[in-house]
Amino acid sequence: MTSSTEQIRLDPRNKVVLTVLLVSTFVVFLNETILGVALPQIMEHLHITPATGQWLSTSYMLVMAIVIPTTGFLLQRFSLRRAYILAMSLFTVGTLIGALAPDFSILLIARIVQAAGTAIMMPLLMTNVMILVPEAIRGKIMGTISIVMSVAPAIGPAVSGLVLSVLDWRWLFWLVLPIAAVTLLLGSLRISSVNEPKDIPVDALSIVLSALGFSGLVYGLSSFADAARETAVVSPYLPLSVGVVFFALFIWRQLLLQREDRALLDLRPFRSNEFTIAIVLMAVFMMSLFGVAILTPIYAQNVLGVTALATGLFLLPGGLIMGFMGPVVGRLYDRHGGRKLIVPGTFAVAASLWSMVTFNEHTWPGWILIVNVVLSLGLAFIFTPLFTVSMSSVPPQLYSHGSAVLGTVQQLAGAAGTALFVTIMTIVSTQSQNSAVASLASGTQAAFLCGAIISTLALIPAMLVRQPATPDTRAQELQP
C-alpha cells in the first residue's frame, strides 16, 4: 500500500487550484481570531462599550451559523469557480469596508460581509479536495488542511498583537486586503468548474427555518456565559428554545425535500455509520478545543497572574505543532487508516484534560505549555483522520452537503463547548467561599473535569471507527 500510494501524484493543474484554495482559506481563518486582541483599541476609538464591542464576534458566529448550512445547496446550484469568486469577493469587500469604517455600525456590517464569505470557503475547499484528490492520498491533503485549521487561528492573536504594537486597528484590515484581492484574482483565473451545476429551486422556507434554527442555537449557547455572570440581555433559554423548535422543523423539512433531491442541506450522509461516528467525535473534540481555548487564557492571567503576551506564547507552540503535524498524520492515515490514529489521539486529549483538572493557583506556568502541547498533539492525530473518514464516507453527489454538515457541526460544537466550559467555571467560582483567585481556580478545575469526562467517554466511539466503504457501496446508501 505504501509504495502504490507514493507513486500517485496530484495533477499539476489541480495542485495549483488547491494551493489557491488553501491560501484563501488560511486568510479567512486568520481573520476569525485577528480582531479579538484589537477589541479594547476599537472600543476606545469608536467610543463603544464592551457589551457593544462583543457583537463584532457574536455577529460573526451568527452569520457563519446561518450561511454554512446553505452551502450544501450553493455548491450544487453554482459551479465551484463561481462559488469561490462569490466567497472571496464577499470577504474582500467586507475587509475593505472594515478598513474604511467610520463608526461601529459600518464596522459591524464589514464583519457580517466577511463572515458570509468565510462560511462558504471551508465547505468549498473540502468539496474540491474530494473531487480533485485521488482517494489513496486524500489523508495527506487533509493533513495539509489541518495547517489552515489550526495554525491560522493560533497565530492570529500574535499577528494582531505585533501589528497593534506599531499601527492602529484599521491596519488589521489593510494588511489582509491585498492578500485577499490577489488570491481572488488568481482563483478567478486558475480555478475551473469541476462540477456540473444543478438547476435546483431554492426552498425559501428552508432558508428561513435554517436561519432561525441555527442562529437561535448559537446565540442561546453563547449567552450562557453572560447569564452565569448575570449580564445577559435575555435568558439564554429563550433563543435556545426558539432555535431547537426551528431546528427540528428544518430537519423535518429537509427529510421531505431530499426525497426529490431538493434539500437545502441533504442529511443522507448520516446513513453512513462511519460518517455519523466521525461527526459525533468531531463535535466532542471541537467542544474540547474551544472550551480549553477560552478557559486557559482566563486561568493563566486571572489565577496565575501571567501577562497576556506570555499567555499567547504559552499557547502558540501547541497550535503550530497541531498544524505542522497535519501532513505527517495525513500520510500515516493513508498507510494505516483512521482508528490507529484516532484512538491514541483520544487517549492524549483525555490525559491532557485530566492533567488540567490539577490546575490551581500554585501551578507552575510552564505546565500550561507542556499540557497544551500534548493536547495539540492528540488533536492533530484526531482531526485529520476524522475529516478524511467523514468525507470519504459520503457518496460523490453529496460531497457538498457532507462538507456543509461538517462545517455546521464545527460551529455548533464550538459554541456549545465555549458555553459549557465558561458556564461551569462561572457557576462554581461564584458559589465558592474562597478568595477570588482560589474560587476561579476551582471553577476552571470543574470545567476541565467535565471536559475530561466527555473526552474519556469518546474512547468508545473512537474504537468503532472503520475505514469508509467503497464508492459503489456509498452510492447504494442513497437508495430509499
**Predicted structure pTM score:** 0.80
322 within some domain: yes
Residues 365 and 428 in one domain: yes
Q: How far apart are CA 457 and CA 79, in angstroms?
A: 41
The helix (H) or strand (E) run that includes residue 115 is helix 104-132
Element (H, E) at 458: none
Q: CA angle 144-149-153, nearest 5°?
A: 135
Task: Report the CATH number that the domain containing residue 153 is assigned in CATH.
Answer: 1.20.1250.20
39: DSSP letter: H
Query: Are 278 and 87 in contact, with CB atoms under 8 Å apart?
Result: no
Distance of alpha carbon 240 from alpha carbon 32, whole angstroms:
24
- Helices 138-164 and 308-336 sit at what angle, rounded to 10 degrees? 170
The backbone torsions φ and ψ at residue 196, rounded to the nearest 5 degrees and listed phi first, read: -100, 110
Q: Can you give the pLDDT at residue 114?
A: 94
d(CA 43, CA 45): 6
Residue 266, classed as helix, strand or coil, is coil
**Residue 403, helix vs strand vs coil:** helix
What is the pLDDT, as a whole number, of residue 2? 44
Q: Do 117 and 28 touch, CB atoms closer than 8 A?
A: yes
Are the CB atoms for 56 and 38 separated by under 8 Å? no
The secondary structure element, H or E, covering residue 193 is none
Tell me, yes or no, whether 38 and 166 share the same domain: yes
* CA gap 97, 93 in Å, rounded: 6
Sign of CA dihedral 228, 230, 232, 234: positive
Q: What is the DSSP letter of 468?
A: P
Do 307 and 431 lie in one domain? The reply is yes
Has residue 2 been placed in a domain? no
Question: How many domains does the chain fold into?
Answer: 3
22 and 150 in a single domain? The answer is yes
Tell me, yes or no, whether 231 and 375 share the same domain.
no
DSSP state of 272: S
Cα 75 versus chain centre, distance: 19
**CA dihedral over 121, 147, 419, 437, signed as positive or negative:** negative
Q: How far apart (Å, rounded) are the C-alpha atoms in residues 426 and 440? A: 8
Say whether both 294 and 401 belong to one domain: yes
What pLDDT score does 329 carry? 87
Q: State which of 215, 240, 263 marks the end of a domain.
A: 263
What is the separation of C-alpha 299 from the centre of its chain, rounded to a whole number of angstroms?
23
Domain co-membership, 326 together with 447: yes
Q: Is residue 411 part of a domain?
A: yes
Residues 259 and 303 in one domain: no
Cα-based angle 242, 87, 85 (whole degrees, multiple of 5): 150
Q: Is residue 4 part of a domain?
A: no
- Residue 196 placed within a domain: no
Is there a contact between 267 and 255 (Cβ–Cβ < 8 Å)?
A: yes
**If DSSP codes are grouped into helix, strand and coil, which group holds residue 195?**
coil
3-state secondary structure 79-91: CHHHHHHHHHHHH
Contact indicator for 459, 343 with CB cutoff of 8 Å? yes
232: its cell numbers: 445577559
At 244 the pLDDT is 94
The whole-number pLDDT of residue 110 equals 94
Residue 347 inside a domain? The answer is yes
Residue spans of the chain under pLDDT 50 = 1-6, 474, 478
Whether residues 225 and 286 share a domain: the answer is: no
Q: Where are the alpha helices (DSSP H) in 258-338?
A: 273-302, 308-336
The number of residues making up the chain comes to 480
Rounded Cα distance between 423 and 222, Å, is 10
Residue 260 is classified by DSSP as G
Output the nine-digit C-alpha cell for 267: 442529511
Q: What is the pLDDT of residue 130?
A: 79
* pLDDT of the residue at 419: 79
In angstroms, the CA 216 to CA 241 distance is 8
Buried b (16+ CB within 10 A) or exposed e, 260-270: eebbbbbbbbe
- Return the pLDDT at 28: 85
Q: Is residue 359 part of a domain?
A: yes
Instruction: Output the furthest CA–CA distance in the chain (Å, rounded).
Output: 65
So what's the pLDDT on residue 253?
94
Whether residues 306 and 371 fall in one domain: yes
263, 284, 303: which is the final residue of a domain? Answer: 263
| Segments forming the whole domain that contains residue 38 | 9-191
Asked if residue 274 belongs to a domain, the reply is: yes
Q: What 3-state class would DSSP assign to 470? A: coil
Cell numbers given for 165: 504594537
Shared domain check, 396 and 428 = yes
- Computed over its alpha carbons, how large is the radius of gyration of the chain? 22
Give residue 339's identity as a one-letter amino acid code: R
Helix, strand, coil percent content, the chain, rounded in steps of 5 = 80, 0, 20
Give the torsion sign (CA, 225, 227, 232, 234): positive
Asked if residues 278 and 390 have their Cβ atoms less than 8 Å apart, the reply is: yes
- Are 110 and 95 in contact by the 8 Å Cβ rule? The answer is yes
The pLDDT, as a whole number, for residue 5 is 47
Helix (H) or strand (E) holding 478, with range, is: none
**Of 139, 169, 191, which residue is a domain's last?**
191
Whether residue 77 is found in the same domain as residue 50: yes
Tell me, rounded to whole angstroms, the distance of Cα 414 from its chain centroid. 7
pLDDT of residue 70: 87
